Amino acid sequence: MPHGQAVRAQRRGASCFGAGSFLAVLGLAIAGFLCALPAPAKAQSAAEPKSLAAAVAKGELPPLAERLPKVPRVLPVDSACSAEDLGGTLNMLTGSAKDTRLMPVFGYARLVGYDTSYRIVPDILESYQIEDGRIFTFRLRPGMKWSDGAPFTSEDFRYFWEDMAKDPKIAKFGVPPELLADGEEPVVTFPDEYTVKYAWGRANPGFLASLAAATPFDIYRPSHYLKKYNPNYTDPKKVEAKVEKSGQRNWVALHFKKDRAQRNDNPDMPTLQPWMLSGELGSERLIFTRNPYFFRVDEEGRQLPYVDEVALTISNPGLIPAKVANGESDLQAAYLSFPNYPFLKRGEKRSNYQLRRWESGRGAHVALYPNLNAKDPVWRKLMQTADFRRALSLAINRKDINQAIFYGLATPGGNTVLPGSAFFDETLRSMWSTYEPERANQMLDELGLKRDEPDGLRHLPDGREMRIVVETAGESREQSDVLQLVRDDWRRIGIDLLIRESQREIFRNRIKAGSTLISVWAGIDNGLPNADTDPKELVPSTAEQLEWPGYGMWVETHGTGGEPLGDSPELAPLKRLIDLRQAWKATLDETEKARIWREALKIFADEVYTIGIVSGVDQLVVVKDKLENVPEKGVYNYDPGAFFGMYHPDTFYFACPAVDTAEKRP
Amino acid sequence: MSQIPHFISTEPFDAEATTAAGSVVSERHAKASQARLIWWRFLRHKVAVVSLAFLAVSYAAILFVEFLAPYELNSRHTDFIFAPPQPVHLFHDGSFVGPFVYPLNYTLDMETLRRTYDEDRTQPLPIRFFCKSEPYSFWGLFSAETHLVCPPEGGTLFLLGTDRLGRDMLSRIVYGARISLTIGLVGVTLSFIIGITIGGLAGYFGGWVDATVQRVTEVLRSIPELPLWLALSAALPLTWSPLLVYFGITLILALLDWPGLARAVRSKLFALREEDFVAAAEMLGASPRRIIFRHLLPNFMSHLIASASLSIPTMILAETALSFLGLGLRPPITSWGVLLSEAQNIEAVALYPWLLLPMLPVVLVVLAFSFVGDGLRDAVDPYQH
């Protein structure tokens, strides 16, 4: 399908999802073409959002038709309320001032994004085209603007590519890995103002997913804004003065500081998100106001978001459930955990909210991560022994934990994909995760871990008693409770478990340094993968991985950092996993990709690299009665999903008198 | 104005009767030892006596916690999570049965996810006394299975309810007493030894010893207590066994508690050694040792005893605070502070208030110690009449 034709088709408002099936076809010139937009018809006639009408009337802001791109993204929603009744402030609670970073996740404006069936569809892009899985052509929306009114064009992509990714001062470690296909850089061209093309010699299958991620890899920047801090574009003396004033070391540091879109801590930085940070940082209440140039509209052509303002109130994480039960949040999922259920349920009527249970997209709700890169040589050898990890897993009475902590509503089992995924296999979930303490004891005996008396502690080969310190990030009471129960179970196999509650950054650093023996965290992030999902979570791929930070870094840095794998037979399955991911990247064949996924999952489960405990624990979502359009059922997951982002919070709105929701309720 | 009747005794005045030899009471007083006098005066303070009795019982109890607690410390009951306190009944169907409980029926409301427990009123289950139940290891010395009270056969006995893992709160509080009560005693003993020695040295020798001690205590006292405790207890290696952690925490508390005492001892010694009666004793050829222990110490004993008995509750509270903040003792050691830190959430307050019960023994013990300290101070003060 030629590119231009597709755009015309889209302008006619035709839906062309059918073309997506071409993605599966190997070697065809056009691998896929997707467009998401039904008819953008009435954009010009729609009313101004109430809160902006005054500014438009005074001429401070151009009228709606000039603020929207020629072809805005139309979301299939239509609020029954009139423009007069839309607006308001959405109140939410959060635990830390750093949570400004939640708003770009919440807004979920991405070049391409997931829809609710986990297909990738164009969002900021008007359309895109992939050839051979290696040539990506992105078509921007003509007339689209940044939140300060500056046009959003291919120049913004060029700036990132030429002035950031290729600038050795800014990209100290070279071109970011997302832009490398097997170590190779793309040829990036900008045919016109609204077209960008990335071409590699071989396939780069993870590229689109990285653009659609909850923490996206952004390949564009507000160039008109950042150029002010770049001496290649602005008088170096002026830049120097700004550096001086800001107290940064040099212009690179200042540029970096001004360019933190994910962290979202710079109110001056233009954005494409529905809400933008406004006002003072460091206050207890962070306010995000609507982006007057936002590119999404509803079916009537009214500009989104419906809600004018989002207010994040910072409070003590421990108090958030209490405040939510008091009705202080309009929409809340963060900082609520499953044990809060009875308490929150009790407040439903009094505080006019509804407690909903969304599925979790995680492979396991709680999982233990033995650190294969532990510093202590004796422990490290044990952690790298599959039978040791298996024995630890077999000793855990998961049914009991499920009953005691999760009301029997969770599913006991290992850390693998969820039943919603095509790759789900019951045998993998129960592999090495049944309760067989006798067998675990026998396996430990065979490893030569002796104990003096039948009930005593086992000894390490060097004579020390086996005491494992399991570290938590100190954020979840559930994790500590689970650990308490695991401690009782492990005591029966002669291993003492000590719990150390830490703090997230320290927790991460200690794991990377190998000081931590076992850590506890949730299971794999994406429990609902399809063949096109990068199997990176099952394979050493980044230094952030809790089970093998050293090997992950080694892979991530192409062997320049981290820890090489070596030749020990214990690590052979790990090498196989790395090879599998390479094979996945190299192929465009869906059945082959699926086969790779299945094999990787099998190795991951059989080697028990992570000890999953329970899965399928629902996320609690509290929704005020007056807040409309929030789905009853959903999947609450970070990536893919961006928490609420996938469900487009910009389409949530407060009920107006015309639609009295209180009466609709049973 | 009415006339006040005026009366003059015509009996001859016997001056002897008002002195020791003259009356039975005075004679007993005159012949009694210092300790006995103190004891008599203490008995006059009724609240202090009751408190002392309470503390005596409490401390006696921690010797036998395994026997007293109906359940073993770590025994969990997955079917009885967050069970409320189980009432004890005496009469069933109008007839006296003796103390008994009804079996609990557990239902989980799938709508609200609340666990509800109903008594099955048809079947009284008498509580057993001096009975065999869960085996335990008495002070780690020998195994036994006799308990003072046991749950009825086939039933449960959760007099103070259970926690989120289905552990009996009463048993945990009883076990927690062993840690919480002793940490005060051990800590105060340690800080006393340090305080009296250092304060005594400073007061007796004076000069540069005194100056050094003074500066050190000033520095120590100027550091805010809670953050320092937190820092020190965070520094305890995580791989230490719980017992070592216990002694570590005790030592931390003791090491920070002595400066006040040392200071008091030193200043009292300073003041008193210039007194006339010390000079008199010296004239009469008394040795320094006799002067200190016979003449000086009794003079500020009241202060020492009072600060000792007031330090114990401070230590108990400090342990509770540290553990509450998650930096003191850690599970599996169970102290009252640990129990309270586990109740540190909104659910405990709103839905499971019995989890806050460990507060009660903390309050009672601290109050008792304060009353006893008060009574003792009054009793030992030679100038108090």
The beta strands (E) that lie in A248-382 are given as 275-278, 285-290, 296-297, 309-314, 331-332, 353-360, 366-370
Closest CA to A109 of A281, A270, A330, A299: A270
Smallest CA–CA distance, residue B143 to chain A, in Å, is: 14
Q: How many whole angstroms separate alpha carbon B35 and alpha carbon A331? A: 70
Amino acid identity of residue B130, one-letter, is F
What crossing angle do the helices spanning B359-380 and B34-43 adopt, rounded to 10°? 130
When pLDDT is cut at 50, 70 and 90, the band that residue A326 belongs to is very high
CA distances, A228 to each of A108, A156, A157, A293 (Å): 27, 14, 16, 22
Q: Is residue B32 part of a domain?
A: no
More confident residue, B385 or B139: B139
Q: Is residue A172 part of a domain?
A: no
Instruction: Give the Cβ contact number of residue B63 at 10 Å.
Output: 12
CA distances, B141 to each of A578, B206, B317 (Å): 54, 49, 30
Tokens at residue A287, please? 């306010």
What pLDDT is attached to residue B24?
Answer: 61
What pLDDT is attached to residue A281?
Answer: 67
Q: Give the long-range contacts of residues B201-209, CB within 8 A, separation 24 or more.
A: B202/B262, B202/B266, B203/B265, B203/B266, B203/B267, B203/B268, B203/B269, B203/B270, B203/B273, B204/B269, B204/B273, B204/B292, B206/B270
Do A336 and A375 fall into the same domain?
A: no
Nearest 10 degrees: Cα torsion B76, B78, B83, B89: -70
Pairing relationship of beta strands A135-139 and A195-199 according to DSSP bridges: antiparallel
B319 contacts: CB under 8 Å, gap ≥ 6 = B179, B180, B183, B184, B249, B253, B328, B329, B335, B337
Name the A residues in 362-421 with CB < 8 Å from any B CB.
400, 403-405, 407-408
A404 to B78: CB separation less than 8 angstroms, yes or no: yes
User: What share of chain B has pLDDT > 90, as a percent?
Assistant: 11
Q: How many whole angstroms separate alpha carbon A391 and alpha carbon A498? A: 18
Amino acid identity of residue A89, one-letter, is T
Q: What is the pLDDT of residues B38-47, one digit of tens each?
A: 888 888 889 9
Interface test with A, best of B342, B345, B351 (most A CBs within 10 A): B345
Rg of chain B over all Cα atoms, to the nearest angstrom: 28
Q: How many whole angstroms separate alpha carbon A417 and alpha carbon A426? A: 10
What pLDDT is attached to residue A16?
Answer: 39
> Is the minimum CB–CB distance between B19 and chain A shorter than 8 Å?
no
When pLDDT is cut at 50, 70 and 90, the band that residue A601 belongs to is very high
Closest CA to B367 of B302, B318, B309, B328: B309
Do B149 and B182 fall into the same domain?
A: no
What pLDDT is attached to residue A318?
Answer: 81
Do A318 and A416 fall into the same domain?
A: no
Do B343 and B237 fall into the same domain?
A: yes
Q: Is residue A348 part of a domain?
A: yes
Mean pLDDT of chain A, nearest integer? 87
Q: How many whole angstroms separate alpha carbon A190 and alpha carbon A137? A: 10
Q: What are phi and psi of A458, to 5 degrees?
A: -75, 165
Q: How many whole angstroms separate alpha carbon A418 and alpha carbon A267? A: 39
Do A536 and A462 fall into the same domain?
A: yes
* Most confident segment among A33-37, A321-325, B69-73: A321-325
* A499 contacts in chain B (CB < 8 Å): 330-331
Q: How many whole angstroms separate alpha carbon B89 and alpha carbon B103? A: 12
What pLDDT is attached to residue B54?
Answer: 94
Q: What is the CATH number of the domain that holds A400?
A: 3.10.105.10
Smallest CA–CA distance, residue B57 to chain A, in Å, is: 33
Q: Is residue B219 part of a domain?
A: yes
* B81 contacts in chain A (CB < 8 Å): 404
What pLDDT is attached to residue A32?
Answer: 38
Query: Least CA distance to B109: which residue of chain A?
Result: A342
When pLDDT is cut at 50, 70 and 90, the band that residue B236 belongs to is confident
> Is the minimum CB–CB distance between A76 and chain B shorter than 8 Å?
no
What pLDDT is attached to residue A458?
Answer: 94
What pLDDT is attached to residue A161?
Answer: 94
Whether A35 and A6 have beta carbons less than 8 Å apart is answered as: yes
A345 to B112: CB separation less than 8 angstroms, yes or no: yes
What crossing angle do the helices spanning B46-61 and B34-43 adopt, rounded to 10°? 100
What pLDDT is attached to residue A511?
Answer: 93
* B350 contacts in chain A (CB < 8 Å): 343, 346
Domain membership of residue A549 as a residue range: 366-615
Q: Which of A65-74, B93-102, B181-190, B235-244 has the lowest mean pLDDT?
A: B235-244
Do A611 and A630 fall into the same domain?
A: no
Question: Does residue A216 register a pLDDT over 70?
Answer: yes
Q: Is residue B209 part of a domain?
A: yes
Q: What are phi and psi of B288, to 5 degrees?
A: -55, -40
Answer yes or no: is the ipTM higher than 0.85. Answer: no
Do B207 and B346 fall into the same domain?
A: yes
Smallest CA–CA distance, residue B109 to chain A, in Å, is: 10
Q: What is the pLDDT of residues A22-44, one digit of tens each?
A: 333 333 334 334 444 444 444 44
Q: How many whole angstroms separate alpha carbon B102 and alpha carbon A489? A: 31
Tokens at residue A59, please? 């001429």
Do B221 and B326 fall into the same domain?
A: yes
Do A589 and A645 fall into the same domain?
A: no
Mean pLDDT of chain B, nearest integer? 82
Buried b (16+ CB within 10 A) or exposed e, B42-51: beebeebeeb
* A485 contacts in chain B (CB < 8 Å): 165
CA distances, B8 to each of B1, B12, B15 (Å): 22, 11, 17
CA distances, B13 to each of A23, A503, B18, B25 (Å): 124, 83, 10, 19
Q: Which residue has the tokens 């958030």?
A: A320
Do B177 and B151 fall into the same domain?
A: no
Smallest CA–CA distance, residue B78 to chain A, in Å, is: 6
3-class DSSP string for B274-302: CCHHHHHHHHCCCCHHHHHHHHHHHHHHH
Q: Is residue A415 part of a domain?
A: yes
When pLDDT is cut at 50, 70 and 90, the band that residue A198 belongs to is very high
User: What share of chain A has pLDDT > 70, as a percent?
Assistant: 91
Q: Is residue A83 part of a domain?
A: no
Question: Does residue A187 register a pLDDT over 70?
Answer: yes
Q: What is the pLDDT of residues A614-665, one digit of tens each?
A: 998 999 999 999 999 999 999 998 888 889 999 999 999 998 865 444 444 4
Question: Does residue A481 register a pLDDT over 90?
Answer: no
CB-closest option in B76, B114, B165 to A342: B114
* B326 contacts in chain A (CB < 8 Å): 501
Question: Does residue A541 register a pLDDT over 60?
Answer: yes
> Is the minimum CB–CB distance between A456 and chain B shorter than 8 Å?
no
When pLDDT is cut at 50, 70 and 90, the band that residue B17 belongs to is low
Overall number of domains in chain A? 2
Do A515 and A480 fall into the same domain?
A: yes
Q: What are phi and psi of A444, to 5 degrees?
A: -70, -40
- C-alpha count within 13 angstroms, C-beta hemisphere, residue A544: 7
Q: Which residue has the tokens 């939640």?
A: A102
Query: Least CA distance to A501: which residue of chain B?
Result: B326
Which of B114, B130, B157 marks a domain boundary? B157
When pLDDT is cut at 50, 70 and 90, the band that residue A9 belongs to is very low
* B72 contacts in chain A (CB < 8 Å): none
Do B230 and B265 fall into the same domain?
A: yes
More confident residue, A521 or B122: A521
Pairing relationship of beta strands A296-297 and A135-139 according to DSSP bridges: unpaired
* Strands across the sheet containing A309-314: A89-94, A309-314, A285-290, A275-278
When pLDDT is cut at 50, 70 and 90, the band that residue A539 belongs to is very high
What pLDDT is attached to residue B27?
Answer: 66
Q: What is the CATH number of the domain that holds A334?
A: 3.40.190.10
What pLDDT is attached to residue B15?
Answer: 67
Q: How many whole angstroms separate alpha carbon A304 and alpha carbon A55? A: 17
- The torsion region of residue A350 among left (phi > 0), alpha (psi -120 to 50) and beta comes to alpha
Three-state secondary structure call for residue B172:
helix
Do A416 and A557 fall into the same domain?
A: yes
Do B176 and B201 fall into the same domain?
A: yes
Q: What is the pLDDT of residues A128-185, one digit of tens each?
A: 999 988 999 999 999 999 999 999 999 999 999 999 999 888 888 788 888 988 788 9
More confident residue, A463 or B246: A463
The distance in angstroms from the start CA to the end CA of chain B is: 36
Helices (H), chain B: 24-31, 34-43, 46-61, 65-68, 169-205, 207-222, 225-234, 242-272, 276-283, 288-290, 297-324, 336-342, 346-350, 359-380
Do B228 and B258 fall into the same domain?
A: yes
Say if residue B132 is exposed, middle or buried (CB neighbours under 10 Å; 0-12, 13-18, 19+): exposed
Q: Is residue A283 part of a domain?
A: yes
Q: How many whole angstroms separate alpha carbon A252 and alpha carbon A435? A: 55
Q: Which residue has the tokens 């478990």?
A: A497
Sign of the dihedral through C-alpha B61, B66, B70, B72:
positive
Do B307 and B201 fall into the same domain?
A: yes
> Is the minimum CB–CB distance between A510 and chain B shorter than 8 Å?
no
Q: Is residue B189 part of a domain?
A: yes
Q: Is residue A31 part of a domain?
A: no
Q: Which of A27-36, A105-114, A317-326, B15-24 has the lowest mean pLDDT?
A: A27-36
Q: How many whole angstroms separate alpha carbon B74 and alpha carbon A491? A: 12
Average pLDDT over residues A596-605: 95
Q: Is residue B15 part of a domain?
A: no
Do A448 and A479 fall into the same domain?
A: yes
Do A580 and A643 fall into the same domain?
A: no
Q: Is residue A124 part of a domain?
A: no
Do A344 and A377 fall into the same domain?
A: no
Do B212 and B142 fall into the same domain?
A: no
Partners of residue A468 on adjacent β-strands: A497
Interface test with B, best of A498, A516, A517, A519 (most B CBs within 10 A): A498
When pLDDT is cut at 50, 70 and 90, the band that residue B383 belongs to is low
Whether A272 and A146 have beta carbons less than 8 Å apart is answered as: yes
Overall number of domains in chain B? 2
Q: Which of A11-15, A60-64, A229-233, A599-603 has the lowest mean pLDDT?
A: A11-15
Q: What is the pTM of this model?
A: 0.77
Q: How many whole angstroms separate alpha carbon B216 and alpha carbon B221? A: 9
Q: Is residue B365 part of a domain?
A: yes
Q: Is residue B236 part of a domain?
A: yes
Q: Is residue A589 part of a domain?
A: yes
Name the B residues in 209-268 with CB < 8 Å from any A CB.
238-239
What pLDDT is attached to residue A8?
Answer: 37
Which of B123, B157, B191 marks a domain boundary? B157
B201 contacts: CB under 8 Å, gap ≥ 6 = B209, B213
Domain membership of residue B118 as a residue range: 86-157
Q: What are phi and psi of A525, to 5 degrees?
A: -65, -45
Which of B111, B134, B157 marks a domain boundary? B157
Whether B348 and B8 have beta carbons less than 8 Å apart is answered as: no
Q: What is the pLDDT of residues B271-317, one digit of tens each?
A: 887 888 888 888 888 887 787 777 777 777 777 777 787 788 888 88
Length of chain A: 666
Do B120 and B179 fall into the same domain?
A: no
Q: How many whole angstroms separate alpha carbon B377 and alpha carbon B385? A: 12
Q: Which of A325-329, A356-360, B24-28, B232-236 has the lowest mean pLDDT?
A: B24-28
User: How many inter-chain contacts (A to B, CB under 8 Å) are there?
Assistant: 60
B305 contacts: CB under 8 Å, gap ≥ 6 = B373, B376, B377, B380
Do A424 and A441 fall into the same domain?
A: yes
Q: What is the CATH number of the domain that holds B341?
A: 1.10.3720.10
Whether A516 and A371 have beta carbons less than 8 Å apart is answered as: yes
DSSP for residue A339: G
More confident residue, B24 or A425: A425
Length of chain B: 385
What pLDDT is attached to residue A316?
Answer: 86
Q: Is residue B120 part of a domain?
A: yes
Do A471 and A539 fall into the same domain?
A: yes
> Is the minimum CB–CB distance between B140 and chain A shorter than 8 Å?
no
Q: Which of A2-6, A236-240, A459-463, A465-469 has the lowest mean pLDDT?
A: A2-6
Three-state secondary structure call for residue A297:
strand
Peptide bond into A69 cis (omega under 30): no
